[in-house]
Structure formats: structure tokens, C-alpha cells
A = this chain, B = another copy of it.
Amino acid sequence: MTHDDRLLPLDPGVRALARDLYKQVRDLPILSPHGHVPAQLLLDDEPFTDPASLLVTPDHYVTRLLHASGVPLETLGVGRGPLDEADARTAWRALCTHWHVFRGTSVRYWLDSTLRDVLGTDLRPGPDTADELYDAITDRLARPDFRPRALLRRFGIEVLATTDDPVDDLAAHAALRDDPTFTTRVLPTFRPDRYLEPAAPGWADAVERLGEAAGTSTVTYAGWVAAMADRRAYFRAHGAVSSDHSHEDVGTAPLDDADAERLYGRALVGSVSAAEGVALRRHMLLEMAHLSTQDGLTMTLHPGVRRNHHGPTAERFGPDTGHDIPLPGAFTDHLRPLLERYGTHPDLRVVLFTLDESVTSRELAPLAGFYPSVYVGTPWWFLDAPASIRRWRESVTEIAGLSRTSGFIDDTRALLSIPARHDMARRLDAGFLASLVAEHRLDEDEAAGALVDLVAGRPREVFRL
């Protein structure tokens, strides 16, 4: 088992305070309003086969650092179909023999917790223990209590959001909702990025399929808007509470109707420039905000990444293979058109995420400290880790308090790490609040109230759960 006091403050007095606070939220149910576990996995409820296919191959947080350490992605099974046992063992061994390269990383923290607390193994991964661990884990995974649904139950996950394409029929979500033996609410999330990039290859085909799904022609911009509204309604009807947007930037800028139609028409025939594509995308993102004021889907914005930085790897292994690299963040001017129009609308909720820590105190907290629609999202991706989260909480709180933050977002496809992630956030927030108490900036009962609100209140308010 991992240690009871992990991540709590180092000073013994503050640690004791933090421990008391943490106990008050330790066992609260998990609300996960944004993540990447597929609904089909939960519907099928098949056993996981082996530790590599579960913990290594699909997790680009893990594979990237192994790749940096000289292990080829193919050795890790990336971009291939199901692994046979020999290949799975090879991939697992690669992780175990490079266990030291993860020292101090968040991946190490998730894996420690997954191996010890979820899978009940206590061996330290290494070249000598790789096979024994492989066997022990494979053995456990075959047991009924390690199937996906059993894990959700054991983890106390009350709400779990998936991420889905607007044309998805959400059949898996419907089946899960209609299954009386299954109590977790599994919510789809509307992720329309590809339909908002008119200069990208394949866009015209995508919007045609969008129109088909919506039963609406998308040969005009007005049709595109109608199709979007239709699919959003469909998602709402299947439980969706948010739409998610990840473009190179969060620029928003209105076009007049004629310009929008004109650019849209040219995009359909593939004759917009990159700059025109950006202009249309920024208008479309504004449209998404407008639709949000009508249907109440919370917008989560995850901008600022150069996707597929290493072209040769992307070509060979596909996207999401560990080389999406952050860019400088910019929100103040980029979001101004959106916020001038809808920022004080009572039905809009926007959550801002960044991979550029310098914008947190400069832009995100000041925006969330004025606009009732804006919340600061918890640290994302590379920054979803203990020290980063501490820096973030320190940067945000003095400016925007605690109530203008989103509540923890795990954003993960690594199902087995979900409890460790939420538990980490609870520990860190307990530690942060304990420090405020120890500095005499907050009373202990207020800290307890604040912590419960962060765990249970924020996600419910921000995502209207």
C-alpha cells in the first residue's frame, strides 16, 4: 500500500492539520466531468488482458518518457493491434527496466498507486521483478472484481464523462443509462474540434457527415450551425453536460453573416487559406459559446498545443503519441469578443485550461475573478502533478479565491489511475488549506468547508451535475 501521508505538507504540525482535513473528503464519491475512458469499454465490461496493454501501450504519458529514454514506440506496442503475450511481456519489461526514469514524475505516482492500491502488488518494478509482476497482475486482471464495472464501483465513481465525436450515436451511453445494474452516470462530452478547422484536410467530408447525423444540410454556414445545435441537443438528451474545445488558440472574433457564408462556401471546396481557416474557426468558436448560452453545455477550453510535433512519428504511429508540445498561452485579448458578448450571460459556463503556467496569475485568475461565466480549470496534462498543482493553487487563490476554480478534472483514459488522481487533488488541497490555517489566514472550520466544496461543490456547479 502507498503511504497514508503521501503528498501531505512536510512540517509535522501542518501535516497533522492537513490529515484531519483530508479525512473529511477522502471517501466522498468521485465526480469526473471530463475524461477519456470509452463508454464501450464499460458496456462490454471485458476483463483487461495484461499489464502492458492496460498500463503501457495506450498511455502516452508513459510511452513518451520511455521513448525519450531510447525505447522505440514499436517495442511498447504503440500503433499496433492487440499484443500477443510475448510482445506484451516485452513492453512491460521495458517499463520495469526503465522504472528509474519515472522517479519524481506524476506517472510514477499514478503507477505506484495503481500497482499497490488497485492491483495489490507490492514489488518494485525492475528488471528482476518484471515477469513476476506481469504474472501477478495478469492473474488479478482475470478476476471478476477487476473488470471495468467492478472497478468503477470500487472506486466510488458517481459521474464519469467520456469524450465523443458529434456524429457519434451514443448507443453505448444509452445502453449504460438503461442498465439498472449499473449506477455510475456515464456522460458523453461534445468534442467538435474537427468541424471547426475549415482549413484542415478532411474538413469538408467531416461536415458532410455532421449534416447526415443531424439530418440537416451543411452546405451553408447556417446549416452548419443548425447541425451543431441539433447534435448538441442529441448529446444533451444523452446526458452531456459539456462541450470540449482544443484548438491552437482560443481566439474568438465575429464575422458578419455574409463573410461567414462566403468563407464557409470556399472552405467546402478547399480554397481557404490557413489565415481564413483561422478566421472562420474563431467565428465558429464564438458560435459555440452562443449555443452554450442556449443549451447550457459548459465549455471547456484546452488550447495552446502544437500537435504532432514530430512529423515522422505522427505519420508512423498516429496522433496522441507523446509529442504534442505546448505553446505560449493568450486569453485576455483572444477571449474578449466572446466575453463581451456572453461573459455575463447567466447560463454560460466556460472553463479555461492552460499548459503555460505564466498565464495563470496573469490572465486566467483575473478573468475568473470578474466574469461569472469563467472558471479556472485545474492543471492539465503535463501540469496535472503535485508540485504543479500546488503552484497553480497558490497562483489562483489570492486573485480569484477557491470558488472560481473548476474542481479536479482527471482528463484521463487510464481508468485504474482515476482514484489516485482524485485522491491526489484532495490531499494537495487539504495541504494547501492547512497552510492557510497555519498562517492564520483561515479558520479550521472554513478550511473544511472549502475542501468539501472543492471536491463536491465545484464540479456540480461548474458542470451542472
Interface residues of A (CB under 8 A from B): 2-3, 5-14, 64-65, 67-70, 100-106, 108-109, 112, 124, 306, 309-313, 322-323, 325-328, 330, 332-333, 336, 339-340, 343-344, 346, 355-358, 361-363, 365-372, 374, 382-383, 385-388, 391, 394-395, 397-404, 433, 435-436, 438-443, 446, 449-450, 453
**Distance, CA A333 to CA B68, complexed state (A):** 19
Interface centre among A10, A311, A326, A398 (most CB of B within 10 A): A398
Q: Which 7 A-B pairs have the closest CB atoms?
A: A3-B440, A385-B398, A6-B440, A358-B358, A104-B397, A323-B370, A387-B394
Residue of B nearest to A14 (CB): B10
What are 11 sample pairs from A and B whose C-beta atoms fall under 8 A apart? Answer: A64-B369, A65-B370, A68-B372, A103-B436, A104-B441, A322-B369, A323-B370, A326-B366, A327-B362, A357-B395, A386-B398
Q: Is the CB of B361 within 8 A of A382?
A: yes
A7 touches B401 (CB 8 A): no
Set of chain B residues within 8 Å of A306, measured between Cβ atoms? 332-333, 336
**Is there an interface contact between A362 and B440, defined as CB atoms closer than 8 Å?**
no
Known contacts A344-B310, A361-B388, A363-B326: A382-B370 contact under CB 8 Å: no
Report the separation of the CA atoms of residues A403 and B325 in the bound assembly, to the nearest whole angstrom.
Answer: 19
A10 to B10, CA, bound (A): 10
Stoichiometry, as copies per complex, reads 3
Whether B332 and A309, one on each chain, are in contact in the complex, defined by CB atoms closer than 8 angstroms, is yes
Q: Known contacts A10-B14, A339-B310, A382-B365: does B388 contact A398 (CB below 8 Å)?
A: yes
Question: Shortest CB–CB separation between residue A150 and chain B, in angstroms?
Answer: 28
Give me 13 other A-B pairs in contact (C-beta within 8 A), A65-B400, A105-B400, A357-B358 excluded.
A64-B370, A65-B401, A68-B370, A101-B401, A101-B403, A108-B441, A309-B336, A310-B340, A312-B340, A323-B370, A325-B332, A386-B441, A391-B394
Quick check: A312 and B344 within 8 Å, CB to CB?
yes
A448 → B minimal CB distance (Å): 11
Residues of B within 8 A of A108 (CB): 441
Contact of A439 with B386 at beta-carbon distance under 8 Å, contacts A101-B403, A325-B367, A358-B356 already known: yes
- B371 touching A361 by the CB < 8 A rule? no
Q: Which residues of B contact A312 (CB under 8 A)?
A: 340, 344
Q: Flag if A399 contacts B105 (CB, 8 Å).
A: yes
User: CB-nearest residue of chain B relative to A313?
Assistant: B344
Q: How far is the CA of A446 from the CA of B10 in the complex (A)?
A: 19
With beta carbons under 8 angstroms apart, the residue of B109, B325, B362, B402 that contacts A103 is: B402
> Are A362 and B370 touching (Cβ within 8 A)?
no
Measured between alpha carbons, how far is A309 from B368 in the docked complex, in Å?
13
Chain B residues with Cβ below 8 Å from A433 are 104
- The answer to whether B446 touches A103, judged by C-beta atoms less than 8 angstroms apart, is yes
Q: Are B69 and A403 in contact (CB under 8 A)?
A: yes
Cβ-closest chain B residue relative to A383: B361
Are B372 and A67 touching (Cβ within 8 A)? Answer: yes
Chain B residues with Cβ below 8 Å from A438 are 10
Given A104-B398, A369-B64, also A6-B441 (CB < 8 A): yes
For the complex, give the distance between the alpha carbons of A446 and B368 in Å: 41
Residue of B11, B332, B368, B391 near A68 (CB, 8 A) is B368
Q: Are B103 and A366 within 8 A (Cβ)?
A: no
Specify which chain B residues have a CB less than 8 angstroms from the CB of A332 in the assembled complex. Answer: 306, 309, 325-327
Contact A309:B440 (CB < 8 A) given known A328-B362, A404-B68: no
Q: Is the CB of B69 within 8 A of A372?
A: yes
